[in-house]
A and B are shown apart, each in its own frame.
Chain A
């Protein structure tokens, strides 16, 4: 299949025209709907997933249009590296960083949407008037293989832009290091100082893990302290906020369960049965 793709040339792949038409319509509908969903959903993570769908369908379109190298670069660089970078930054900033739906400028969305539609209509009318021909037969430059032709072009005609991009990439890497670097303003604590601070704070042991009960086994259940009370320090803030969004109250469900005598009795019976099985 790779061989077929590499020899695709300018006419696209060796697909039957009707298949390529069907493929185009499936991918076009997929890409446009994913893009629309992307600008509508609130959560940034969902946006990233929708963007991945768009990028993958574009990669298939590149392969279909006789650009197998770009198709693989699209998958490796965009879907593999750039999108993962987005997800990493989202993890650092917080998954809960959802957009607020309140408009700061009145009518901004309406006018932005109208402007977008007007732009698309303008471009489509303009391109519709331009004469976009059908696909040309491949010239000598790419009749052998897509990859060889691209390499020849990059290292002959476009060798100076290619060198410039290498300088750009090094500058970008340095810039990212400078921007993301944080100077240490306080001296590093010694082990003794850390231990002193721990004892002084009153909490020597690590934070309690989320609760695991006989009836509930989930990370949003708060842990129970030795005195029987529950602590909210054991549950991640992101999960707590999600529970609030969904209208759940795990703490109340824990106390309600603990108050239900019948359930506790059932737990005890199960436990004693298990113990009896162990002894046999």
Chain B
């Protein structure tokens, strides 16, 4: 397959992940949708690396994976701290800064 079809697939997955972030209200599921978006970006990077015939895109995808791992660790720790305070994982309940 040409790299273009992989890029189109990456765009579709990115869009689905974005809609998930907007629609869902459980913070864990929102995190999973963000992961889906990051994965879609990785797919695009790998496709572009193949298109240009060098490995720089794959290196960038590798760095994205590292940053995603760090993000998940800190994000889930924040989520647990919020859950301890509010007894809920819904993003609607985290409204302490509202008033």
Q: Which residues of A contact B (CB under 8 A)?
A: 10-12, 20-21, 24, 28, 31-32, 35-36, 38-39, 44, 47-48, 51, 54-55, 58, 61-62, 65-67, 69-70, 73-74, 77-78, 81-82, 85-86, 89-90, 92-94, 97-100, 104, 108-109, 112-113, 115-117, 119-120, 123-124, 127, 132-139, 141-142, 146, 149-150, 153-154, 157-158, 161-162, 165, 168-169, 171-173, 175-176, 179-180, 182
CA distance A69 to B61 in the complex (A): 11
**Could you jot down 26 A-B contacts, CB within 8 Å?**
A38-B33, A44-B26, A47-B32, A61-B43, A65-B46, A67-B50, A74-B42, A85-B72, A86-B28, A86-B76, A97-B88, A98-B26, A99-B25, A116-B15, A116-B22, A120-B14, A132-B2, A132-B51, A142-B54, A142-B55, A150-B59, A158-B59, A165-B70, A175-B73, A175-B77, A179-B74
- Chain B interface size, as a band, is 35 or more
Chain B nearest Cβ from A155, distance in angstroms: 11
Chain A nearest Cβ from B44, distance in angstroms: 9
Say whether B66 contacts A117, CB under 8 Å: no
Say whether B90 contacts A100, CB under 8 Å: yes
Contact of B67 with A by CB under 8 A: yes
Number of A-B residue pairs, CB cutoff 8 Å, is: 245
Say whether A54 contacts B13, CB under 8 Å: yes
Say whether B9 contacts A28, CB under 8 Å: yes
CA distance A162 to B65 in the complex (A): 12
Say whether B23 contacts A67, CB under 8 Å: no
- In the assembled complex, which residues on chain B have CB atoms less than 8 Å from the CB atom of A161? 63
Interface on chain A toward B: helix, strand, loop, or mixed SS?
helix
Besides A32-B13, A116-B19, 20 new A-B residue pairs in contact (Cβ under 8 A), listed by A number? A12-B50, A28-B5, A35-B17, A44-B29, A47-B28, A58-B43, A62-B43, A62-B46, A65-B6, A65-B47, A69-B58, A78-B39, A85-B76, A89-B80, A135-B2, A136-B53, A137-B53, A146-B58, A158-B59, A180-B80
Interface on chain B toward A: helix, strand, loop, or mixed SS?
helix
Contact of B94 with A by CB under 8 A: no
- In the assembled complex, which residues on chain B have CB atoms less than 8 Å from the CB atom of A36? 16
Contact of B98 with A by CB under 8 A: no
CA distance A94 to B13 in the complex (A): 28
Chain A nearest Cβ from B92, distance in angstroms: 6
Say whether A135 contacts B36, CB under 8 Å: no
Chain B nearest Cβ from A272, distance in angstroms: 52
* Known A47-B32, A137-B53: A127·B8 in contact at CB below 8 Å: yes
CA distance A69 to B57 in the complex (A): 13
* Known A38-B36, A108-B23: A176·B77 in contact at CB below 8 Å: yes
* Known A21-B1, A65-B50, A150-B55: A117·B15 in contact at CB below 8 Å: yes
- Of the candidates B17, B20, B49, B74, the one whose C-beta lies within 8 Å of that of A67 is B49
